[in-house]
Structures are given as structure tokens and as C-alpha cells.
Amino acid sequence: MDLSVQIYSIVISFLFGGIFSLELIFFNKLIDKLVWLWKSLFSFLFVMINATIYFILLLFVNNGVLHIYFFLSMILGYYIFNLLFTLFRKKS
């Protein structure tokens, strides 16, 4: 895999982590009033759908090759977007 594909994969992972963070915030607000059984079921489906979408993205970008720094980039994106969203919410 050449360098441009790796950089593109890292950027995609970072953005996907950020989008997942925002989705998770709104998803938790959406299922807050449900019974624990439904919460568990919907949470499982939510994570499985997002994991499938991520792997399909990687399949198109770099033929589905996984590296540890893709996951680290996703975690960093999740953390940064979550931090920015909470700071934005506190200001407004």
C-alpha cells in the first residue's frame, strides 16, 4: 500500500471516529427512556451497523487492509469531536 492510500485511510478513520462520536451522543439521547433490554439490542445493532460501514469504507479505500494506526486515528477523531461537541454545548 503506497503512502497516499495510507494517509487517505488515516483521514477517513479520523473522520469516521468523529462522526461516530456525534452519532453516539444523539443515539444515547434517543434511547435514554427505553427499557434495558431494548437499549442493549439497539446499542448492539448500532455498533454492528457502524462497524460494517467502517469496514466497507476501508474496503473501498485500501482493499480492506487494517492497521493499528487506523484504529488509533479513529479513537483520536472520536475524542476530539466529542471534546469539541461538549465545549460547543457548554457555550450555547
User: Is residue 12 predicted with pLDDT exceeding 80?
Assistant: yes
Backbone angles phi, psi at 32, to 5 degrees: -60, -35
Residue type, 75: I
* Interval 26-80: pLDDT, tens: 999 999 999 999 999 999 999 999 999 999 999 999 999 999 999 999 999 999 9
User: Is residue 18 predicted with pLDDT exceeding 90?
Assistant: yes
Residue 91's pLDDT is what?
80
Residue type, 42: F
Residue 16's pLDDT is what?
97
Residue 1's pLDDT is what?
81
Distance, in Å, from the CA atom of 67 to the CA atom of 82, rounded to the nearest integer, reads: 23
